[in-house]
Amino acid sequence: MKQLLKLALTLLLVTFFTNSQAQFSGNIYVSPEGSDINTGTKEDPMSFEAAINLASIQLKEQGLPDKGIHIHVLGGLYRFQKPFILGDEFQGTRENPIIISAEDGEEVIFDGSQPIAFEGFSKVNNEVEKKRLAKSAAKKILVTTITDKTLIERFNKNLMLNLNFNGQ
């Protein structure tokens, strides 16, 4: 099902790209509420991922357009479940740059965090683990076992864990 959805999105982007090739200005607008099927104008912004895909198709099939490509990131919170990687095709020039920037006056936050449900946490019960902790902290620390494959993959690649509870 996921592959079918990706194929449909790719075909939709190719169709959009083909139909709008003559009017492709190199300006693409994105919004956290943007859709993968939107046109990418300021009034009809795309999702960030759809804009990257559209730019990639443009660069691979038609090359770098005159005046380059500018992805205008409208304000808001962008949540990412997985990293995105710009391919080798994303190489602008001084005259025709590739720019990804927040719109003037807009606050943009890219968030790759992954919430973990509190219900799975419990106090440290393992005596060996308790001995490794300061006595003053042992009763305050909660632990959990992470089983989500996306989280495990993320931790295996970039071991960075920043936990907070109730915003602290």
Summarised one tens digit per residue, pLDDT across range 92-115 is: 999 999 999 999 999 999 988 777
Q: With pLDDT > 90 as the criterion, what percentage of the chain qualifies?
A: 45
DSSP 28: E
Q: What is the pLDDT of residue 19?
A: 44
Residue 164 corresponds to which tokens in the numbers above?
């907070």
Per-residue model confidence as pLDDT tens digits over 12-70 = 444 444 444 434 678 999 999 999 999 999 999 999 999 999 999 999 999 999 999 99
By three-state DSSP, how is residue 78 classified?
strand
* Residue 67, number of CB atoms within 10 A of its CB: 12
Nearest to 36 by CA among 25, 49, 55, 23: 49
User: What are the start-end ranges of the H helices in the chain?
Assistant: 2-20, 48-62, 127-132, 135-138, 149-157
